[in-house]
Amino acid sequence: MFLLMVIEALTVLGSVLSANLLNALIKSQLNPFLLAVGLLMLDWMVIAALNYGASIYQEKVIQNIDISIRQDLADILIDKDYESYNSRGTGVYESWVNNDIQTINVQGLQNFFTVVEGIFGTVFALFTLIAYHWSLALSALILAGLIIMAPKVFDKRIMRANTQLTHQNEAFVNRTQDVMGVFNLLYAFQALRLLKQGIVSASQALKQSYVNQRRAQSSVQVVGFLGNVISQVMLMGLTGILAMMKLVSIGTLSAVSSLSGNIFNNLGNMSTYLGMIRGVAPIFEKFELEREKFPATAEPTEMAVATTAIVPDMIRVRDLSFGYHADQLILRHVNYNFEQGKKYLILGESGGGKSTFLKVLTGYLTNYTGEIRLAGKSLRDYSANQLGQQLLYLDQRPQALTTTVRENLQLADSYSDDELVAVLLATKLCPDRERAEAFLDQNVGAGGSDLSGGQLQRLALARGLLRHVGVILLDEGTSAVDTANAVKIERDLLENPALTLIMISHTPHAETQALFDETIQFAELNGK
Ligand SMILES: Nc1ncnc2c1ncn2[C@@H]1O[C@H](COP(=O)(O)OP(=O)(O)OP(=O)(O)O)[C@@H](O)[C@H]1O
């Protein structure tokens, strides 16, 4: 802002030097004329150099602000719970950190600096005009007020257009991600034209929002432009009259021409910029709304479960009902006791609600009726963090970060190589220590794409074993692993007396079935 102030002061100085130059010419004074030419040249060179530095510094500031907004957005995301995060496609969140930030940059921050520049330029020019004649400064001030106020009438339109655009951008990213994320599926069925169709139709929906936004912005620009040129002409007319009345010199005409250019070009644009800056507000309001929906919750301080204590009814389920939609119950009045250290095999037809049941037990889905008690305390009284230390739900579709096996295992914690190698061996990901050490540094590819389905499942299980969670809820956790290794892994889990295991399987292995304490037919449990 300081640099911008200096640039504007030098620009106004340029106008004064031009007037001096013209006055010296009219009076045929060679030396003052040459001096004014030299100074004018120097003035513009300094302005050019300062502009270069200011624009680079400005970009740094803008990027720092972007980073801090993205940090705030990340805070909003990490305060969300499982249900709320997954209730929307990830495209929505990507649009926040890309499109919305871009709009904030272009409409908000860049324009903010232009406004700052304009304010300095206008103030300096107004003061300089006083030096020529007070009536010039007063007229300029009145016209400036009118120019700034007029475009406010378009504020609502701009805000509406921006609100529509930010939501349309979210929908666009979601829709394009949808079709681009299923390339392999479309490739296999020679249906890749659907990818193109998807992108084109999403773009067309977006087009209307951009056009609406531009329409609103252009209205402001036109009003600003008209205010600008009309005011400049009026001020020049006034100066001409003053010159004819011999109240100002002829050279003043040159100074007023460039000073009024300074003032009204700045102001005419400033109302546009202010309108655009105000138009960014709906984006921040949207973010604030998200923050209010999920304020950061303080962690309960009391330790939830003493992991070493033996708790007979580890998980007690009473009259549990749940549906994703109010009118369609997936879980109906389920009652069951899971005891610590015991091993449970859940069988049942596909789509019957087994995964849903495990997700409710893990605390991922909270909109249930009835009661679940973990170690004697209602599941609702545990924080997500506390539950995570007790229970691990291993998804049917494990996720992986695009990085090494080591970082995929460690995530936000750190473990020694010995511990990491031990879980790689326990999950049969590697046959011996030497290969396990090499495997730790292997990159798993984009989202784990370089690993087989079975390897990904074992990597997910290894994460849980590493953390010694007391209860593992395994949802088809070894379905993609070859039978021999799946049996070995299951046997290890089943023979671990400290572990409570609840495992869903469509393909139970005869070799391990006897090691389960209970085999549950889910249909009998659900709706009995
Ligand atoms: N996020 C969701 N929103 C709405 N409905 C869902 C959601 N997830 C699952 N369902 C529905 O809930 C029902 C139970 O699904 P669930 O995944 O729990 O079954 P499952 O018994 O684990 O099936 P499978 O053995 O095939 O994995 C299904 O009809 C499914 O369509």
Q: CB neighbours (10 Å) of residue 173?
A: 21
pLDDT recorded at residue 312: 54
pTM above 0.90, yes or no: no
Contact criterion met (CB below 8 Å) for 366 and 81 = yes
Which residue's alpha carbon is nearest to atom 23 within ligand 1? 351
Gap from CA of 86 to ligand 1 centroid (Å): 14
DSSP state of 296: P
Sign of CA dihedral 323, 324, 330, 331: negative
Go through the domains of the chain in sequence order and give each one's CATH number. Answer: 89-292 (1.20.1560.10), 313-525 (3.40.50.300)
Query: CA of 184: how far to CAs of 125, 180, 191, 200, 397, in Å?
Result: 63, 9, 10, 19, 17
For 47-78, b/e burial (b = at least 16 CB within 10 A) is: beeeeeebeeebeeebeebbeebeeebeebee
Gap from CA of 398 to ligand 1 centroid (Å): 16
**Amino acid residing at 48:** A
Cα–Cα nearest to 463, from 399, 409, 392: 409
DSSP string, 401-418: -SSBHHHHHHTTS---HH
Which residue's alpha carbon is nearest to atom 14 within ligand 1? 353
**Amino acid residing at 109:** L
- Rounded Cα distance, 148 and 382, in Å: 55
Gap from CA of 261 to ligand 1 centroid (Å): 67
pLDDT recorded at residue 179: 87
- Rounded Cα distance, 47 and 35, in Å: 18
DSSP string, 133-182: -HHHHHHHHHHHHHHHHGGGGGHHHHHHHHHHHHHHHHHHHHHHHHHHTT
Query: How do strand 369-374 and strand 377-378 relate by DSSP bridges?
Result: antiparallel
Gap from CA of 88 to ligand 1 centroid (Å): 17
Gap from CA of 353 to ligand 1 centroid (Å): 6
How many CA within 13 A on the CB side of residue 426? 20
Mutate to test the pocket of ligand 1, among 87, 320, 324 (most ligand atoms within 8 A of CB): 324
Gap from CA of 356 to ligand 1 centroid (Å): 6
- Rounded Cα distance, 398 and 394, in Å: 7
Mutate to test the pocket of ligand 1, among 321, 346, 350, 355 (most ligand atoms within 8 A of CB): 355
Which residue's alpha carbon is nearest to atom 28 within ligand 1? 351
Which residue's alpha carbon is nearest to atom 9 within ligand 1? 356
What does each of the 528 residues of the chain score in pLDDT, given as a tens digit? 999 999 999 999 998 898 889 889 888 899 999 999 999 999 999 999 999 999 999 999 999 999 999 999 999 988 888 888 888 888 889 889 998 999 999 989 999 998 898 889 889 988 988 888 899 889 988 888 888 887 778 888 888 998 999 899 889 988 888 888 888 778 877 888 888 999 999 999 899 999 998 898 888 888 888 888 888 899 899 999 999 998 888 888 888 888 888 888 877 777 778 878 888 888 999 899 888 877 666 555 444 444 444 455 689 999 999 999 888 899 999 999 999 999 999 999 888 899 999 999 999 999 999 999 998 889 999 988 888 888 899 888 888 888 899 999 998 888 999 999 999 999 899 999 999 999 999 999 888 889 988 898 899 989 988 988 889 999 988 887 888 888 888 888 898 888 999 999 888 888 888 899 999 999 888 875
Query: Which residues form the pocket of ligand 1, taking CB atoms under 6 Å from any ligand atom?
Result: 324, 330, 348, 350-356, 396
Cα–Cα nearest to 214, from 147, 150, 275, 153: 275
Which residue's alpha carbon is nearest to atom 25 within ligand 1? 350
What's phi and psi for 333, nearest 5 deg? 50, 55
Gap from CA of 184 to ligand 1 centroid (Å): 24
pLDDT digits (tens, 9 = 90+) for 362-386: 999 999 999 999 988 899 999 888 8
Cα–Cα nearest to 348, from 488, 497, 522, 172: 522
What's phi and psi for 35, nearest 5 deg? -60, -45
Gap from CA of 355 to ligand 1 centroid (Å): 7
Contact criterion met (CB below 8 Å) for 267 and 148 = yes
Residue 476 CA: which ligand 1 atom is closest?
27
pLDDT recorded at residue 153: 82
Cα–Cα nearest to 375, from 305, 318, 317, 319: 305
**Amino acid residing at 149:** M
Alpha helices in 261-346 (DSSP H): 266-279, 281-293
Query: CA of 212: how far to CAs of 158, 174, 225, 264, 418, in Å?
Result: 9, 21, 20, 27, 60
pLDDT recorded at residue 297: 61
Residue 353 CA: which ligand 1 atom is closest?
18
pLDDT digits (tens, 9 = 90+) for 127-138: 988 888 899 889
Which residue's alpha carbon is nearest to atom 3 within ligand 1? 324
Residue 352 CA: which ligand 1 atom is closest?
21
DSSP state of 384: H
- Rounded Cα distance, 491 and 515, in Å: 8
Which residue's alpha carbon is nearest to atom 30 within ligand 1? 351
Residue 396 CA: which ligand 1 atom is closest?
27
- Rounded Cα distance, 405 and 219, in Å: 56
